[in-house]
A and B are shown apart, each in its own frame.
Chain A
Amino acid sequence: MALDDRKSEFTFVGTRPDRPDGLDKVTGRAKFGADMSAPGMLHGAILRSPHAHARIVKIDASKAEAHKDVKAVVTRADFADVPFKPGLEGEFWNVLENVMAGEKALYDGHAVAAVAATSALAARDALKLIEVEYEVLPHVTDVDKAMAPDAPVIREGAADYSVPEGMHPNVVRYHESGHGDVEAGFAEADLVIEDSFVTEATHQGYIEPHACLGALGGDGKGELWCCTQGHWIVQKTCAALLGIETSQLRVTASEIGGGFGGKTTVFIEPVALALSRKANRPVKIVMSRSEVFRATGPTSSASMDIKIGMKKDGTITAAEGIFRLQGGAFPGAPGDMTAMCAFAPYNLTNVRQVGYDVMANRPKQAAYRAPGAPMGAFAVESVLDELCNQLGLDPVDVRLKNAAHEGTKASYGPTYERIGLVETLEAAKAHPHYSAPLKPGQGRGISCGFWFNHGGETSVSLALSEDGSAQVMVGTPDIGGSRASMALMAAEVLGIPYENIRVTVADTASLGYNDVSHGSRVTYASGLATIKAARHAVEKLCERAAAKWGIPVDAVKWEDGCAVPSGPNAGDFDPIPLADITADMGRTGGPISGHFEATPEGAGVSFGTHIVDAEVDPETGKTSITRYTVIQDAGKAIHPTYVEGQYQGGAAQGIGWALNEEYIYGDDGRLQNSIFLDYRIPVASDLPMIDTVIVEVPNPGHPFGVRGVGETGIVPPLAAIANAVSNAAGVRMRQLPMSPPRILAALKDNG
């Protein structure tokens, strides 16, 4: 698909116009999740388990139900009984179990009941009237401990076909892949380094807490407003959990205040609908920050063993990685993705990678920007750095020597199409940052990173107005400026100015199914669909011109926003601008629209290389990032400023993950840092300017060459920063985050 009519010269694509949602967002008018209200609205609140693992013996809500301000109370009994079936279809059950606990509370913060009351304060007060009797069970929150023989079992029977016999029931998925003979490869090496690494769970940290406003009637018809990365998945999941028909629930996506993967599932939405159905009034639920941390998707935590062999000239002879990912009390930790991405930047003859998905008493992990890839890159690229240090080799040269390129057999199996890793490494080597002198106490680190990217189900509809302007309806919530990118791509095809196009994120009743805004897919897939929808409209415009001129439609072509005869033989006619055709379209055949529905398959993988300088204060263990450069292949940057923004944002999140951010659990299994004061994400004074270099190696699977850019940017930072810090401190850092106490301890151990 999409290999026809490729384009490499652009009029609008590659320019940097203002975003269409800019004015609303700088004036406070933009409506986010919590900004909506409805007549007769109630406020919902959720009661959460204070225990990491406990049997729910009894829930007595009679006092709450009797309170004058309370209009509904729901527990698990108020949801559809989705039968548990492991595997993909079992995911609905997992989501339901996460949305509202069944027999057991599985983590600190797990929802056990909810109320709807006449005000937010009344709802919060009413939670105190609900009495829950718990039988506290032994818990485990650490990935290695959760795999140990004596670990408490989170849920029997959750493991799927892939798990080898004899493993603890908390190990629920197993992945192994690779090629060649790693033992033979290690035997050929001049130096083999084997080391172990640990990363803590981090949260996506979007500034907007989850919020929704739902109304569901006894007739099974409902309306839902919420902040989400994908309202069709919300529609589908809520319908399943509430036992209603999917099409009877209309879901509208609000402006979204950040998601980064964390808003790709549901938490409060089915609860608001269940409360609404019981109270027969609209119900709004807004999470507190503490609820966001305790009960919505952090990443997995990870424990990893890496072994890499290298010759004196820098050739990697073999690589092996074991990646254990803890994903909370449900299957889903992306151990397989970690394994498949970890060695993907390199051309390896012998490679073996193993991934484990392990359950523990923590919230259900959710995707976070290239889920699974950053931690694997941290471990692998740290060992590569150490090999370079010990063999006295340049880290960029070694990566270039081993870099995957078109025709390389990927570590995960297939042969690469055209990819841009080498170009990012060459740009890194040529960048002034790489040769800039370091001050005493500073260290430099580099790392490569890989992510697959995604296509996914996509529907786009484009309609022309009589005045020659165009409206485009997409179904992928705009999480990074995609409305601007869609308008640029539509402008390119239609040949009308960017300003004459309005892009709207349509609700579920107004457009066909769309997969979530995830997998860096929006500019790729919705962009491809926008281009195809615009071309569909152009075909119709050409038909109208052909009819007017009385020539065959294949004698008409579209050029610079006008229908023109395709050649001298077609006839001598003046070009007809788009607006002249639309002006009387009602009388020449009816309204002109274009649309496209498909699942584009050709997202194109992407690579990046980051250069970081860090300074470590040996007195306090505090690290400062003094310089940062992101180099990444975008395929084709539709709006370069927003591509830079994605690179910078990914790097900043990576800096937080590397240096500060972590989930801290007490011995009691309770999360100890569930507010932004204690879970500290980078602030403006923590960061330097973040330089960016956009490399463009076109993706053969997109008409304009686009590759997704949102996720790859968070893959290299953990490793690049760890390498910079290790080089600055003179000691290898094997655990994230590299918080001051950990750095001080490492310095002390090193003498």
Chain B
Amino acid sequence: MSKLHVSTTVNGDPVEYLCDPRETLLDCLRDKLNLTGAKEGCGTGDCGACSVTVDGRLVCSCLMLGVEAEGKEIETVEGIADGDVLHPLQKKMIEYAALQCGICTPGILVAAKSLLEKNPNPTEEETRYWLAGNLCRCTGYDKIIRAVMDTAAEMREAS
């Protein structure tokens, strides 16, 4: 099967790649652009470890084809920090020990950032339901939820 040429934008950078029509956006990010921050935990859209945003919308990159990224704006975990300045969510994840193995962390960060952009003052229940698509097997979510809600509070105060 011949490959297709795709031009897209990832974390603000214009990029191009050739992909098989069967390859997912996740495959293309990881294997063609060497952006291995997004992880494949399931390949069926159930675990959220591959979460990215596409034109501002939170998606599982394993459920989207690489060719569908044509002309889109993709944001991944690699784009969350501003240079050497970590996003408040990143800082709080470390401070709260809201990660153990860290494999779900990129997806949680992308999803949580997306939550706070839409809802700067989420309740615990809203936070839990928003993150229900991001599986974590290590933490029991307790410290993740606390980290996200404390970040929200801090960002509200700062703004």
Contact = CB atoms under 8 A, between A and B. Distances in A.
Contacts of B47: 207, 289, 676
A208 B141 contact: no
B138 A649 contact: yes
A35 B34 CA distance: 9
B91 to A, nearest CB: 8
Interface in A228-267: 255-260
A30 B102 contact: yes
Contact of A690 (B44, B76, B80, B140): B140
Contacts of B43: 288-289
A403 to B, nearest CB: 26
B24 to A, nearest CB: 11
A258 B104 CA distance: 10
B100 interface: yes
A27 B144 contact: no
Interface in A636-655: 641-642, 644-645, 648-649, 651-653
B138 A32 contact: no
Contacts of A258: 100-101, 103, 137-138
A27 B37 contact: yes
Interface in A131-148: none
Contact of B139 (A23, A256, A648): A648
Interface in A173-221: 204-209
Contacts of A649: 100, 137-140
Interface in A1-54: 16, 18-19, 21-32, 34-35
A235 B15 CA distance: 40
B132 A685 contact: yes
A479 B105 contact: no
Nearest to A22: B94
A151 interface: no
B93 interface: yes
Contacts of A22: 93-94, 99
Contact of A648 (B38, B44, B80, B140): B140
A27 B77 contact: yes
A206 B141 contact: no
Interface string A625-636: 000000000000
A226 to B, nearest CB: 14
B103 to A, nearest CB: 3
A21 B97 CA distance: 11
A18 B97 CA distance: 8
Contacts of B127: 684
Contacts of B30: 34-35
Q: Which of B90, B102, B128 is most buried by chain A, counting CB atoms within 10 A of its CB?
A: B102
Given A289-B42, A676-B135, A19 B97 contact: yes
Contacts of A26: 77, 80, 86, 90, 93-94, 99, 105, 109
Contact of A685 (B90, B129, B138, B146): B129
Given A28-B77, A31-B36, A675-B44, A683 B133 contact: yes
**Interface size bucket, B side?**
35 or more
Contact of B142 (A257, A479, A689): A689
A545 interface: no
Contacts of A25: 99, 102, 105
Interface residues of A, number: 59
A681 B141 CA distance: 12
Given A26-B99, A289-B44, A645-B100, A684 B38 contact: no
A258 B101 CA distance: 6
A480 B100 contact: yes
Nearest to B86: A26
A34 B99 CA distance: 19
Contacts of B97: 16, 19, 481, 641-642, 644-645
Contacts of A35: 30, 36
A676 B42 CA distance: 7
B78 A209 contact: no
A88 interface: no
Interface string B62-98: 0000000000000011101100001000100111110
Nearest to A260: B137
A689 B145 contact: yes
A684 B132 contact: yes
Interface in A663-685: 675-677, 681-685
A23 B22 CA distance: 34
A209 B41 contact: yes
B143 to A, nearest CB: 6
B46 interface: yes
Contacts of B77: 26-28
A305 B132 CA distance: 37
B102 A677 contact: no
B21 to A, nearest CB: 10
A207 B41 contact: yes
A637 B36 CA distance: 34
Nearest to A23: B94
A687 interface: yes
Nearest to A259: B101
A29 B100 CA distance: 15
Q: Which of B101, B131, B133, B138 is most buried by chain A, counting CB atoms within 10 A of its CB?
A: B101
B130 to A, nearest CB: 8
Contacts of B13: none
A204 B137 CA distance: 9
B85 to A, nearest CB: 11
A653 B101 contact: no
Contact of A21 (B37, B102, B125): B102
A157 B12 CA distance: 63
Contacts of B131: 683-685
Interface string A280-308: 00000010110000000000000000000
A127 B138 CA distance: 34
Given A28-B38, A683-B135, A684-B127, A208 B140 contact: no
Nearest to B41: A207
B83 to A, nearest CB: 11
B78 A27 contact: yes
Contacts of B102: 21, 24-25, 30, 255, 257
Nearest to A686: B132
B28 interface: no
Contacts of B49: 207
A645 B109 CA distance: 18
Given A207-B103, A289-B41, A645-B100, A18 B78 contact: no
Contacts of A167: none
B136 interface: yes
A649 B22 CA distance: 36
The 7 closest A-B pairs by CB, nearest first: A28-B37, A257-B103, A652-B140, A25-B102, A676-B46, A648-B140, A22-B94
23 contacts: A21-B102, A23-B94, A25-B105, A26-B90, A26-B94, A121-B22, A207-B39, A207-B101, A208-B39, A255-B101, A257-B102, A258-B101, A641-B97, A645-B138, A645-B139, A648-B139, A676-B47, A682-B141, A683-B131, A683-B141, A684-B131, A685-B129, A687-B128
